[in-house]
Amino acid sequence: MSVSPSAMITGASTGIGYATAEFLVEKGWNVFAGVRQQADADRLKEALGEAVLPVMCDVTDAAQVKAAGDQVREALGDQTLAGLVNNAGVAVAGPLLHLPVEDMQRQLEINVTGQLRASQVFAPLLGTETGRSGKPGRIVNISSVAGFSAMPLVTPYACSKHAMEAFTQGLRRELLMYGIDVVAINPGPIATPIWDKAEELDPNQYADTDYISAIERLMGFMVSRGKKGLPPVKVAEAIYAGLTDAKPKLNTVLTPEPLQSWLLSVLPSRMTDRIITKQLGLTPDSLTR
């Protein structure tokens, strides 16, 4: 009898993580769903059934990530974990010169250090330790198109996703000897609750800076872009391909704005600087003082 493959997904309560849990269950996988609230654990179990085991896993909490690893180890027995999806993330915005340093630390703590913690805990189950049955597992990191290009005023987020690109590449090279592949998915706007959380950012904290009107403009622009984003199931499909294709793509870009992404990748950076700053009102002639 063949045993169903299993994956651990961090940040599975909503959005891309939830859609991926649902998609993998439909494909016959077992899912360890990282959540932070008991209510989310109960909701996932109710909605997705027996194939889902919710595990408490705040990626900023080392003890909790380790306990999640112990729980997954016990459930797996000697079976290899087929996938780790490093998905948990938040988006921090604000002009760099005025951003509370703690906001940048929080951004990197969740989106980068948190993925390191999860990768360290789950790598033995993916096959860095001996004695597991089944072929080595894979790691799929949820990066972003912001991993290639930094939008002003959302630079903390872009820093975290640029770091995710380096993390993915370096980890892939470090895990090659174990046969554990590591790939990244780079979504553009996807319609998930992350955009509703962007609306919670209070621009008033930057009211006395030269950036306030650009922030207001950017927020309106981003929230409407997010709501027109691709459905999260598209990312779930790409994650599944990353977990199962014989030779998965190292980076899968998924965006409703392919032309914009392509232009960003081919235009000279100085030209892109001029286009973006003009759109947001960040050119020298937009300074009102």
Catalytic residues: 157
Which is nearer to ligand NAD, 29 or 195 (by Cβ)? 195
Q: State which of residues 156, 189, 203, 242 lies at the interface with ligand NAD (CB under 6 A).
A: 189
> Cβ 51 to ligand NAD, closest distance in Å?
19
Write out the two tokens for 112.
């980068």
Site membership for ligand NAD, residue 58 (CB under 6 A): yes
* Cβ closest to ligand NAD, residue 55 vs residue 127: 55
Distance of CA 229 to the CA centre of its chain: 15
Question: How many angstroms from the chain centroid is the CA of residue 68?
Answer: 19
Q: Based on the shown chain and the rule CB under 6 A, indicate whether residue 36 belongs to the binding site for ligand NAD.
A: yes
Structure tokens of 111?
A: 């989106």
10 binds ligand NAD (CB under 6 A): yes
How far are the Cα atoms of 4, 72, 177 from residue 28, in angstroms, in the given order?
7, 18, 29
CA distance linking residue 145 with residue 161, whole number of Å: 8
Number of Cβ within a 10 Å radius of residue 152: 18
Complex with ligand NAD: residue 18 or 206, whichever CB lies closer: 18
- Of 38 and 283, the one with the shorter C-beta distance to ligand NAD is 38
* Residue 205: CB atoms within 10 Å: 15
Select the span of 6-14, 23-31, 168-176, 215-223 touching ligand NAD (CB under 6 A).
6-14
Where do the H-state alpha helices sit in the chain? 15-26, 38-48, 62-76, 101-108, 114-123, 155-175, 194-199, 212-227, 232-244, 258-266, 269-280
By C-alpha distance, which of 223, 230, 269 is closest to 252? 230
**Per-residue string for binding with ligand NAD, 230-269, x by CB under 6 A?**
----------------------------------------
C-alpha 17/C-alpha 55 separation (Å) is 13
- When binding is defined by CB under 6 A, the residue of 6, 30, 87, 155 that contacts ligand NAD is 87
- Is 69 an interacting residue with respect to ligand NAD (CB under 6 A)? no
**Size, binding site for ligand NAD by CB under 6 A:** 30
Q: Which of 7, 8, 9, 13 binds ligand NAD (CB under 6 A)?
A: 13
By the rule CB under 6 A, 110 interacts with ligand NAD:
yes
Sign of CA dihedral 21, 232, 12, 54: negative
Q: Which residue has the tokens 């951003």?
A: 99
Among 56, 62, 75, 90, binds ligand NAD (CB under 6 A): 90
Nearer to ligand NAD, 201 or 212 (CB): 201
Site string for ligand NAD, 141-180 (x = CB under 6 A): -x-x------------------------------------
Return the number of the residue (89 or 242) whose C-beta is nearest ligand NAD: 89
Reference 217, options 230, 206, 228; nearest CA is 206
Q: 153: alpha, beta or left, given left = phi > 0 and alpha = psi -120 to 50?
A: left
Can you give the binding site for ligand NAD, defined by CB under 6 A?
A: 10-11, 13-17, 34, 36, 57-60, 87-90, 110, 114, 142, 144, 187, 189-190, 192-194, 197, 226, 229
